[in-house]
Structure 1
């Protein structure tokens, strides 16, 4: 344990529904010297623990086991206990940040994070909470001091306008009973109207007045405090104090200075006269600046404190300002010449007749806070794994460069780089080795480009290099060649040496492409083309790609209206059981009939939809429409079928997806066993949350199938971790059967594996009897393809099922 951590005595409550994450965080905190009082997984448990246990700080995840979000729990905890909350979340979208801000947290960290980040965030949160607590204590001390003042108390019970009597207790005690009018005779004529109008009509009243005990005596200044109370029966009573403050009033200037200076405050305070000459300072001022009161007595603060003087118009504007104060950050200087940043508050003190008497200047040293903020800002723009910039940094650099390019010549070059084969290394050697490879590559990229260029990692194995002041595409080609050579150099990992390549998409800003999002999408389009051409190369965004890019943009914009405009439709392709010679199910396939573009094939619009949230809406529509059609078939007397629906990885990351499946099944009275969800191998690589959600769905009775098996990089352990029901062999392995010996062996191996794991096998893309016979020989259970039927609209498929002799086709 580091020695600087042993001084921590903070008791921390962890609220995290991921047990492994909670345990890792607990061990990290204990290693830092903090005490973890408990680890809970729901907002309700967090509220109970915060109420029952002695907790100094709560580390709160936002999305938890139960319906209650961490932001809701944080609000309740702050209201009940005031315990500070620091959010730890994997989400940073605008809605989540807005919800988190509403609960007034003491910090927000985005997962994943480093050990030092956690320590820094906790320290800052505790420092801020300590400062808030000290401020509340200071306010309480002031309240108690006011209550401790010895003042005469009076009480007035108004009966009616004709007979109002006032009891006043003086020092020495004496009781005077007289009508209010008689009492007002002893108040100075200029003050009577104010008292008569306000007393008894305001909830609280405070007013200095001139008062004399008897006619002929001199008027003395007294201060009248009053509070109006109303009883349930409608009676009113005024209770307050009447205090002789004549001597205090005569010494008003000295008393105002005394009240303005709090010797216990941590802020530096100076009091000057109207000419800004220092009259008094507090101990904190000397502690912060090193100046004693004798050093600064009679001097203007601009002469010794401010590193840069206030402008000549500053104080005249402040005097004429209705509020009479100013706050802001300013550079200050200590006695030893050291500069520091301070937050300064300057206010005017006026006499009762509105004349300027004093300036009160308070300030606090915020240099340490600014250093911490700078470090946090650096972290906000930095990828925690590799040390290069992150997506936020990318947007900032590109946007600034584009803005500068408006005034000065020069274009912005974007090189979008993706490591070829990284997923294979990550899966076979482990994530730690994959992370090491990413760090090595990030260092190589930084060494390859100029210092003024920017390297960022936007996620996974994808990097973007921003070249500023690029003049032509040939310059970017040179950089791309250097990057490809740097990537190809062998990398020595912890256990073995590996070699990888890269694909690069290049775009140069021009009048037609001048927005951040457009540049990034254009570079991504060029990257996709580089991968399509065989990888380990670069591709420049040109006119042909621009046409494709514009089409993608048009499709993306139109997709958002497709459901609303009723442009989507479903077609169904039958799934044939070879053992029973019957249709046991159908696969739902989405079709898009655009009003202007015509029929857009799924392989064209689905990948575009996958890159935005619109895939979630399309997927929900397909699921509901499939169940609606199935219900119609069942009601029409069609034999019982199973409907198979494709689900994207983005749908599975939505925590509400399982509830959606259950709700749709209930709505159309469909048994869970009649629904099957098809998931691609790529989706299984997304995260553990997807696997947990699939496990929950499968337990409800819904079937699961792996689609396009053999085309991804998924580990075979996924088949063991999740209870799948069926594996679909991709059509690319069926197309050349029975003439390709490689495809035969691949299909044979898949079927042998599935037999061991008790999984059903479906072969896609069966178009002739030669393929059918070979698949039968290999032991395939089910087939799907044009040999039987193309995808059909619901009404046509129902007729096909009724009229087709499956056994005859199989012969």
Structure 2
């Protein structure tokens, strides 16, 4: 509104129930140059006109021709449409004036009135309304600015030296008043004293505090900026700004944490620009390589760190790759010139526009890992107790001999040997004496054969001797007799002299028996027959023993019926977490209770099942029963458990196994994280399909563990590539702890390897506290064994889980 002529262009609505008065007012307004949009006689019509028409001012009578007063209509119009109202009334009583005031009018004129008086009242009302609009727009701009800055305005009015009145303007801006104590209720208790001290001792202050707008809400970090002002009348006012800095504080906290990690991690870290020029390195980088930050700043890591440069396509391919990172082993060089193997991770950092900004390179020195792998690779082929070969070595030697065999070179002979009476010596004289006996026997076996022949111990007191270039079975008989005589020689142990004998099963490769598994089965069958005939003798695999082999096939067929007949059962053994002193899971173990033969040990029927399709059906049944029992425990309120289920190589090669696993978990509503699959090392020697299947299973959330670690798998260099979470140390390495130094070193090496690869470790076969303490000292986090419990039926296990005091058992 810049002129009188501009005022005259405004549109006015007349609300008057007396038609003569309304007409007179209309003529007066038009004579003054205003536009009269309409004349209505009641409040309802006024509200409708205000909604439908573009109106700048309403001249409103108070007493109209309906029950709605003009004051009521004016209040509704102001709240809904913000149109100013000027009352024209003949009433001046207190009640009418109070009701009119409640509707916040822009004027009140008493009838009758003159033409110039009406013009002046309208001009004043419109000018005031325009000023109000400007004020509201200014307040809205301030509100938006405060919201953008995440700030609020607050004002305190102190009444005394201690108590202050406070007015806080939140977003959207709204002044409220409260005393200091009420304000402090919304400030974190640890920050209140700082605010009191700042207010009473400083003219101006800035203080970060944790603030909650309403009781019970989450505290957020804000900054308070304030100044204290004094007026001439003695009043004091504290005026300031509250700035929400919660996200910035959290970001700063993350930066502080990242900086702590950067400076304290044991991995070397380099940060480069987009041109791969070094910007910064951490202390671990200097410790590993010997280079200081000044030595390498501005240089390309390929120039001083990598013994062999990355290819020219490496970094462009990394930038264009969707994942933007690469990990792998690379040879690096220290400042001294020494080379060392490193596991390196390179990733890209993009700015907000998606453009390359930095490369971040992290690496760790894995020289110690490589040494451990080398030691473990040697141990992988060697029986730790006797120094002869182990199962892995046996399979390697036999398969190579069978592959290289020609008619001119002769056949392959296998002698499967078991010591008679060893168990009695082991039980009466102790394990240490039994181990000494095994070492003596292993040395005698090596002295009784040719240098090119091989002695292996496959477990317990069982040995296998492999001879190559065998022309006749008579040659094998001569060796067997020599071995029997060697065993019969008395053995002087630590405390006394003992005598034992041996039983030997013999087989020679021939057209009907020419595979590794067939040779071992045949030799085992011949050994069983030698024992049955009275021990201290040998037996050659022949037609009669072939019939025995067929008997084993019948066992296999019975296995297929075992599930249908309800002869199989699942028992559970606890898995104990040493750090939390609680049972974190149980291992599911299959048992076969035959109607006629009684309980058949797993080591008797599982190997037979694994050589046939029966293991697939048995494995699926065990998985389903394990999930069924877990669901029952969960419904009964048993604390969350992980159930570990053994899976054979045959199951992993079955393309439908992943679907079976998913369907079983869905059927019983079991979270994937509560199931763990245990896979023996032998199973990992299968084809790439098995590895892809493991990757798929791991991505589903199901845990994976390597069972009987150290006894079967030889390609340890691939261990880091496999998707496992946990490693189970075989009981053969735990049994003689802490007395056996070799077992200690083996366990220590396994722990070191798993620590580098971030794998959890569980030790099997823990039976006493000496073993427990040694494993705890070596850093083992989980244990399993008779020290806590033997395998139990599900219902007994549920009760045991509720009652067992693990912490007491660990003491």
Q: Please classify the TM superposition score into its range, dividing by the shorter chain length.
A: 0.3 to 0.5
Q: Which of 1 and 2 has greater Rg?
A: 2
Give the TM-score taking structure 1 as reference length: 0.38
